[in-house]
């Protein structure tokens, strides 16, 4: 069976993970070329069989001008989404906790109301605070008011992104839908996230960086169902982070996931959460 696949986790811009980087990284987002990125990105997506995707900024962007740089990256995501909406129907903006609550709340309002984007994303280890930083309470109050989605990275190697911080937020803001990005990124991290997801039905789990042992997706579907798992690959174009998104094959090859489970993960859950037609 062929599936319609929507990847909810693609980054626009460069990232340096310690051994990789780009020659033009210091030029920042101002030199970003949307058309060139689109050609490379869709070529990669086509080779994987991914129909469309959600885009978000690389949270490794340069910030010498502070809030103006944050607004610029959000503008680029919105422009990209508007220009290529058939392949990229979903866009996420970001705000910086260290710019302060007032500016962050103002930018969330602009992201949702003016830029017409679908949620707010944080990668706290790249943004200098813990998930449960006090400024997040003000940000999420605005997210709740605007009825949008909060996407929070819980990368396994970062104590800044430990799941207890997400639990604090999910408990305090039970009417907000949270997407735990990198929820399967380690053996211990995935089990922590399973425990939290059982307690908080407002938390969705995203698949990128899937730990390769234990058939985790199968196990999670058995324990919490397939309605709260979202397919994502963490795709970067410059530089690419992988040769092939192995999580895709792990789901496709699963003998225990039903066709409905797979379609929920690949498409239905994202369509419902982000209110796509």
Indicate which CATH number applies to the domain containing 30. 3.20.20.140
List, for the chain, all residue ranges whose pLDDT scores fall below the cut of 50.
Answer: 17-25
The pLDDT score that the predictor gives to residue 240 is 86
Per-residue pLDDT of 54-69, as tens digits, reads 999 999 888 999 999 9
What's the CA angle centered on 185, arms 183 and 187, to 5 degrees? 100
Number of Cα atoms under 13 Å in the Cβ half of residue 136: 25
Q: Which two tokens stand for residue 77?
A: 């995501």
Whether 140 is covered by a domain: the verdict is: yes
Q: Which helix (H) or strand (E) holds 19?
A: none
Q: What is the 3-state secondary structure (H, E, C) of 100-162?
A: CHHHHHHHHHHHHHHCCCCEEEECHHHHCCCCCCCHHHHHHHHHHHHCCEEEEECCCCCCCCC
Q: What range defines the domain where residue 82 resides?
A: 6-273
Q: What is the pLDDT of residues 103-159, one digit of tens each?
A: 999 999 999 999 999 999 999 999 999 999 999 999 999 999 999 999 999 999 899
Q: What is the pLDDT, as a whole number, of residue 20?
A: 41
Q: Domain tally for the chain?
A: 1
Q: What is the pLDDT of residue 60?
A: 87
Q: Please tell me the predicted confidence (pLDDT) of residue 70.
A: 97
Q: Do the domain assignments include residue 197?
A: yes
Q: Which element (helix H / strand E) includes 56? A: strand 52-57
pLDDT at 27: 53
- The answer as to whether 92 is a domain residue is yes
pLDDT of residue 150: 98
pLDDT of residue 23: 44
The residue behind tokens 């305090």 is 172
Q: Does any domain span residue 1?
A: no
């Amino acid at each position: 069976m062929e599936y319609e696949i929507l990847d909810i986790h693609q980054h626009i811009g460069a990232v340096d993970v310690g051994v990789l980087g780009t020659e033009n990284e210091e030029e920042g987002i101002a030199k970003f070329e949307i058309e060139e990125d689109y050609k490379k990105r869709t070529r990669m997506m086509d080779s994987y069989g991914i129909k469309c995707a959600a885009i978000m900024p690389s949270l490794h962007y340069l910030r010498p001008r502070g809030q103006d740089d944050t607004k610029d990256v959000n503008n680029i995501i919105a422009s990209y989404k508007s220009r290529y909406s058939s392949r990229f129907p979903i866009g996420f903006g970001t705000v910086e906790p260290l710019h302060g609550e007032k500016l962050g709340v103002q930018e969330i309002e602009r992201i949702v109301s003016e830029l017409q984007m679908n949620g707010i994303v944080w990668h706290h280890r790249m943004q200098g605070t813990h998930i449960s930083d006090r400024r997040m309470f003000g940000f999420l109050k605005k997210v709740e008011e605007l009825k949008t989605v909060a996407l929070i990275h819980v990368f396994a190697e970062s104590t800044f992104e430990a799941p207890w911080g997400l639990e604090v937020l999910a408990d305090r803001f039970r009417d907000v839908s949270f997407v735990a990005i990198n929820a399967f990124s380690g053996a211990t991290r995935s089990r922590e996230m399973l425990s939290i997801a059982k307690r908080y039905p407002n938390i969705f789990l995203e698949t990128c960086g899937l730990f390769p042992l234990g058939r985790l997706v199968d196990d999670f579907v058995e324990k919490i169902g397939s309605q709260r798992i979202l397919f994502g690959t963490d795709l970067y174009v410059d530089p690419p982070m992988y040769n092939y998104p192995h999580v895709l094959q792990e789901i496709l090859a699963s003998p225990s996931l039903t066709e409905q489970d797979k379609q929920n993960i690949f498409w239905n859950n994202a369509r419902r959460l982000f209110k796509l037609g």
